[in-house]
Structure 1
Amino acid sequence: MSDDATTAIGIDIGGTGIKGAIVDVTTGELRSERVKLPTPQGGEPEDIVATVEQIIDALGDVPAGTPLGVCFPAAIVHGTTMSAANVSPTWIGLEAEKLFEERLGLEITFVNDADAAGYAEARYGAAKDVRGLVIMTTLGTGIGTALIHDGVLIPNAELGHMDVAGRRDFERRASYAAKERAHLNWKRWAARLQVYYGQLEKLMWPELFIVGGGVSKNHKHFLPLLRLRTPIVPAELRNNAGIMGAAALAAHAVGASTHAPASDLVDKTKPED
């Protein structure tokens, strides 16, 4: 790993709980106990910031300058939360990164929760050392997705909302919540997943699919039923993936900021006349 920081704090904000830990970003191992607190009722920004502050305090003595990565269930563009899932709608359009930096006095990297989990799997888990395109999918209330190409995150891929087979927002049919709503057995649910992953495969030609979410612990009931040319495997990191990915992305952001900007890396030589 070429990033300057070797440790970072990772915080994973969810609709029911917020958890965090100090992470060795070289190995992905937790350097502290994981601290978890309930998400405040209503999920308002100020209340969530206060809860994150409590978690950081509970982690003990954190070295000055330690990067902090926060993953959150929303599309994140330049530190602004563009959507909100299972939290207050006041998050929509909020400069969340700026709010957290002002309140906590730390340099913050705000990232989508599925992106953080996917990046962690690519760095430390099921897709470690896999070249080419990896697609992480999280089967839960909806379908969260992350794209990682040669270890580089392509953020904010909302492929759960893809229209498939004439049906809009296919996560409504293929998520784990959809399975539960329709009382589908594993075989019938796998048939819907086959349509979804088959479409992703046709459009994107990935090297690997990773399946996360709580249902992934039961992967033997449905993954063997899928007929895909692309290997599809369960996630390895489970509950710590968001923490690990957020921390790693924060360390990477700090390292990148200390080096030359991308514009300086462009070949500026002019061809001779």
Structure 2
Amino acid sequence: MAGTGKAGILAVDIGGTGLKCAVIDDEGGMLSERARVETPHPCPPQVLLDAFAGMVKPFPAFDRIAIGFPGVVRDGKVLTAPNLGTPDWAGFALADEMSKRLGGHPARLINDAEMQGLAVVSGKGLELVVTLGTGVGTALFRNGALMPHMELAHHPIHDDKTYDEYLGNAALEEKGKKHWNERLEKVIGVLYTLLHYDRLYFGGGNAKKVTLKLPENVTIASNDAGLKGGAELWRARG
């Protein structure tokens, strides 16, 4: 893809199934092709850093890094990493370590569903983003402002099953697409009762498996939103 001559933002989208990255401009436009590799399991921090160091070698210049991570993060550090299969993540300063590994450029870290939401929300009313992948991620926005993070994925939704267990990739493979979509339809109703959102967006790798007829205020987001939100992560915070 043609560049602008200005160094871009390296957007990093970490998932339990795939590790993705691309260089984007300040508006979220792609300056490189998207690179993707399967997520190793287990995936301790140094293995992940090695993977991204290899993927960015052919990329055009970037001077900032935006990281979306599937877990609870705070102040540039990882608190939980339920889908990466290792306890080594607890307290790991991913923003600083990614910065050091990839040329010393400043890095910002946010939950992956929240980074996706930055790219898709309209900025009007209460908007909920739900990512469907290895697990289930959520992000809530009010008038475009990001609300405190909720680990909704680990709350029960049916009997003793959490959202992760009820709608995650293992459930999709076990139950099949039809039954999984029936579960998703139930969850849409439960989430509306809980939050009375104005709009709900589904993202993540399994959003393409959604076949049910969605309510008018429910939308499937682009799979590239998890990367494009990196531009807003830098713009929103100066």
Q: TM-score range by the shorter chain?
A: 0.7 to 0.9
Aligned-pair CA distance for 1:37: 4.0
TM-score (norm: length of structure 1): 0.73
Counterpart Cα distance in 1 of 2:167 and 2:22: 32
Q: Would the aligned equivalents of 1:140 and 1:177 in 2 still touch at CA under 8 Å? A: no
Counterpart Cα distance in 2 of 1:75 and 1:39: 18
Aligned-pair CA distance for 1:38: 4.6
Per the alignment, residue 119 of structure 1 pairs with 118
Q: Would the aligned equivalents of 1:16 and 1:38 in 2 still touch at CA under 8 Å? A: yes
Please identify which structure carries the higher helix content.
Answer: 1
Please identify which structure carries the higher strand content.
Answer: 2
What are the residue-to-residue correspondences of 1:9-48 with 2, within 5 Å?
9-26=10-27, 28-39=28-39, 42-48=42-48
Counterpart Cα distance in 1 of 2:70 and 2:46: 16
Is it true that 1:209 corresponds to 2:200 in the alignment?
Answer: yes
What are the residue-to-residue correspondences of 1:91-102 with 2, within 5 Å?
91-102=89-100
Q: Would the aligned equivalents of 1:67 and 1:251 in 2 still touch at CA under 8 Å? A: no
Deviation string, structure 1 residues 5-29 (Cα, Å, up to 9, x no partner): 9942201223344322221232x21
Is it true that 1:52 corresponds to 2:52 in the alignment?
Answer: yes
Q: Tell me which structure has the larger Cα radius of gyration.
A: 1
* C-alpha spacing 1:95/1:51, structure 2 compared with 1 (3 Å): same
Secondary structure of 1:250's partner?
A: helix
Structure 2: state its 5+ residue gaps. Answer: 1-5
Identity of aligned residues (%): 29
What are the residue-to-residue correspondences of 1:57-206 with 2, within 5 Å?
57-62=57-62, 66-84=63-81, 85-104=83-102, 105-122=104-121, 129-164=122-157, 167-183=160-176, 186=178, 188-206=179-197
Aligned residues: 231
Aligned-pair CA distance for 1:200: 1.5
* C-alpha spacing 1:57/1:180, structure 2 compared with 1 (3 Å): closer
Per the alignment, residue 236 of structure 2 pairs with 252
Give the superposed CA RMSD: 2.7
Per the alignment, residue 3 of structure 2 pairs with none
Secondary structure of 1:57's partner?
A: coil
* C-alpha spacing 1:21/1:140, structure 2 compared with 1 (3 Å): closer
